[in-house]
Amino acid sequence: MSAQEYDIIIIGGGPAGMTAGLYASRSELKTLLVEKMIMGGQMMTATLVENWPGYPGGIDGPELMMRFQTHCVEFGLETRTGEVEKIEDLGKQKRLIIDGKEYLCKAVIIATGANPRKLGIEGEEALVGRGVSYCATCDGAFFRNVPIAVIGAGDTAAEEAVFLTRFASKVYMVHRRDKMRTTKILQNRVFESEKIEMVWDSVVSGLDSDNTGLTGITVKNVKSGEQRQLNAVGMFVAVGVTPISGFLKDLVELDKSGYIKASENTRTSVPGIFVAGDCRTSVLKQVSTAVGDGAVAATQAEKYLEELKHS
């Protein structure tokens, strides 16, 4: 069977990918967006998005993403579920293998986003779904009237800790330093909550479990070396994210943390391959910056297609 051909193929259906899709399809370029799981990306686990302009009082992450999807499909964007197994740079054409099928296009926009980072401690992986979670919105309701812990003190950790106070009897917030990197408004919400106890200067040193799952967490104070036992039966890990770029390491240039190198023009080290959103080297990771990136990537890709015609 011959390969399907597109002007642009976008990989990833989060805010960056969908915005790129909206711009590209509105420019009447034949565009396909491929998403591995469900459209919406990390925002599908966001309880309340308070800093997306135009929604005073905030909007649920999944609702916002549904609106994004409706909007980009309105302009004729084609979307499909699938896993991109390979991307080959053939110069003026790019060849992609998606779920074993061949696709050709002139430009690729990578908007694969990021996955939650793991703590990397013994027992963590085995306890996923039995006490260990990376998503409060998904799993919070399983922990009613029991003590739990949130690890980390960034914006995600703070939002998750506050959200989890709806269910849990107590929330320990374990942080490796004595200062939070969270924005002030979220920090204040954490400090104002009577259910949240900060466990400063501490890292998780051990997980206790039985056949029911997690039964407790041991934390170690990094200054005093003292160990403390927390009676938490749930552990929500929110220690940042890792870019989804491993499958591209032999194609485009990455930085030492795995982010795809590109300046604000979103052009990667390979002509015709663009990057948008959380998987790009950038100073801020927000819906608003992902949206900005998506718009830039699509317009840069359009410009590149024009350049190709004259090359």
Q: Which residues bind to ligand NAP, rule: CB under 6 A?
A: 51, 119, 151-157, 159, 175-177, 181, 203, 238-241, 284-286
Query: Of 152 and 216, which CB lies nearer to ligand NAP in the complex structure?
Result: 152
- Select which of 7, 72, 105, 139 is catalytic: 139
> In terms of DSSP bridges, do strands 227-230 and 234-237 run parallel, antiparallel, or are they unpaired?
unpaired
Beta strands in the chain (DSSP E): 4-11, 31-35, 78-81, 84-89, 94-98, 101-110, 114-116, 132-133, 147-151, 170-174, 196-199, 202-210, 213-221, 227-230, 234-237, 241-243, 273-275
Taking the CA atoms of residue 173, residue 174, residue 176 and residue 181 in that order, the dihedral angle to the nearest 10 degrees is -20
CB of 77 to ligand NAP, least distance (A): 26
Query: Residues, the chain, total?
Result: 311
CB contact at 8 A, 174 and 150: yes
Distance CA 265, CA 190 (A): 37
279 assigned to active site? no
Query: Of 59 and 146, which CB lies nearer to ligand NAP in the complex structure?
Result: 59
72 assigned to active site? no
7 assigned to active site? no
- 159 sits in which H/E element: helix 155-164
> 287-309 and 15-26 are packed helices; what angle lies between their axes, rounded to 10 degrees?
40
Looking at the DSSP bridge assignments, the partners of residue 11 are 34, 110
Collect all residues with Cβ–Cβ distance below 8 Å to 64 and sequence separation of at least 6: 43, 49, 52, 55, 287
Distance CA 57, CA 185 (A): 14
Write out the catalytic residue numbers.
135, 138-139
